[in-house]
Amino acid sequence: MSEVREKAALAKQAAQIMNRLTTAQKNEALLAMADALLAEQDAIIAANALDLERGRGNGTSESLLDRLKLTPARIASIAEGLRQVASLADPVGLTLESFRRPNGLLVEKISVPLGVIGMIYEARPNVTVDAAALCLKTGNAVVLRGGSAALESNRRIVGVLRDALAGTALPPDALQLVEDPSRASVDEMLKLNGLLDVVIPRGGAALIRNVVENATVPVIETGAGICHTFVDASAAYEMAADIAFNAKVQRPSVCNSMETLLVHEDFAEKHLRALADRFRSANVELRGCERTRALVPEAAAATDADYATEYNDYIMNIRVVDGLEQALTHIARFGTMHSECIVTEDEANAAAFMQRVDAAAVYHNASTRFTDGFEFGYGAEIGISTQKLHARGPMGLPALTSTKFRVYGSGQIRN
């Protein structure tokens, strides 16, 4: 039996115990995990050093090496994250519906764990702990398949966490790490129907596309975001400029940042020059439509391919539009149904935008950067779902649960 299948089978067995734990038992385990990470931080940092060394040898970029690197301060922050998850409300075991049928049957709909969750992600070792915490808190077992760049770190972290679980009510087998660094182990996970209940990819567009295209296990798709800000004719300049600038520049590498600014022609006439200067002052590379370039000649010509690109970088497109309808058409064509914003003082246009744009989150007069589990007050974030089934937008702990009907009778049969 392959490593992946064997570990998934162990996780499935463990899920039958996870399923029955109390909130207190789960929280104790999370706190024990936090303590263990701190107690074993030297060993973890030593393992991480091996990953960093191999990364340097491979010519990995400094920014990726920085994301990979663990320090005492970062481990303390990861441990603190575990404690925060312990403090969150348990979404399992809630009675979501309860009704009695005319035949006397009592039907209850109860929240239950999903079962076994497969997590496929890239380099950052903090995701290993974060995903483990969220899955265990919700009574699930988890099979982690992290990036090979962090293999030594992940192996040591998961070893420490499993050892910590051994002293708690939780079965250590509820936490599995796939160590096979080959693409084959990912491909196998994607087809493990019957062992995995769901697969969640976290990472770049290529990783997510591979999962969506090849998984037969149900997937929660996260991540890709081509987000727009539409500045309407009536927008106040300062507010529009602040929102658009924040959406692009505050953290360009994330999925809820803006890729394309759509500007009403009247606003553009008055303000686009000043707005473009503000972006240029932050070293944002500008690409624009013909009407944009008439006002901002230094912008390069934007192509349809540009409008369809998630730059995740200091690059953006600007398009001047006739009005709301053209903005909506552009968003429907190029958007990824993630986060979309209108800046306007016109209530009718705002209402139309909020109603008609098909996206996980739509904003009136606020930055798209708020699409985030913490910003929404969920206390945790599994990711941001960009699909319409199960969960959409920022996912808190309830996104890692399913439901079960419990039906209580006294001998009822169907006629």
Among 105, 282, 300, 301, binds a second copy (CB under 8 A): 105
- Interatomic CA distance for residues 293 and 324, integer angstroms: 21
By the rule CB under 8 A, 393 interacts with a second copy: yes
Quickly list DSSP for 84-128.
Answer: HHHHSPP-TT-EEEEEE-TTS-EEEEEEEE-SEEEEEE-S-THHH
By CB under 8 A, tell whether 107 contacts a second copy: yes
**Applying CB under 8 A, which part among 79-87, 243-251, 282-290, 303-311 lies near a second copy?**
243-251
Establish if 26 lies at the interface with a second copy (CB under 8 A).
Answer: no
**C-alpha span between 269 and 130 (Å, rounded):** 47
- End-to-end, the C-alpha distance of the chain in Å comes to 47
Among 133, 195, 198, 233, binds a second copy (CB under 8 A): 198
Distance CA 35, CA 233 (A): 55
Q: Which residue, 84 or 365, has its beta carbon nearer to a second copy?
A: 365
Residue closer to a second copy by CB (options 56, 404) is 404
2 binds a second copy (CB under 8 A): no
- According to CB under 8 A, which one of 160, 362, 380, 397 is a site residue for a second copy? 362
Total residues at interface with a second copy (CB under 8 A) = 68
Binding mask 246-265 for a second copy (x = CB under 8 A): x---x---------------
Distances (CA, A) of 108 to 31, 402, 411: 32, 14, 17
CB atoms within 10 A of CB 389: 10
Q: Is 387 in the site for a second copy (CB under 8 A)?
A: yes
3-state SS class at 322: coil
Near a second copy by CB under 8 A: residue from 2, 77, 303, 412: 412
Please say which residue, 24 or 301, places its beta carbon nearer to a second copy. 24
* C-alpha to C-alpha distance for 295 and 27, rounded to whole angstroms: 58
Q: Does 284 bind a second copy (CB under 8 A)?
A: no
Assess 374 for contact with a second copy (CB under 8 A). Answer: no
CA gap 74, 196 in Å, rounded: 31
Q: Which residues within the stretch 53-92 sit at the binding site for a second copy (CB under 8 A)? A: none
Phi, psi of 5 (to 5 degrees): -65, -40
Helix (H) or strand (E) holding 340: strand 339-343
Q: Which is nearer to a second copy, 204 or 409 (CB)?
A: 409
Q: How many residues does the chain have?
A: 415
**What's the min distance (Å) between Cβ of 146 and a second copy?**
23
E strand or H helix that includes residue 259? strand 258-264
One of 64, 94, 207, 366 touching a second copy (CB under 8 A): 366
Residue numbers of the site for a second copy (CB under 8 A)? 16, 19-20, 99, 101, 105, 107, 112, 114-115, 193, 197-198, 212-213, 216, 218-221, 238-239, 242-243, 245-246, 250, 332, 354-356, 358-367, 369-371, 375-377, 387-390, 392-394, 402-415
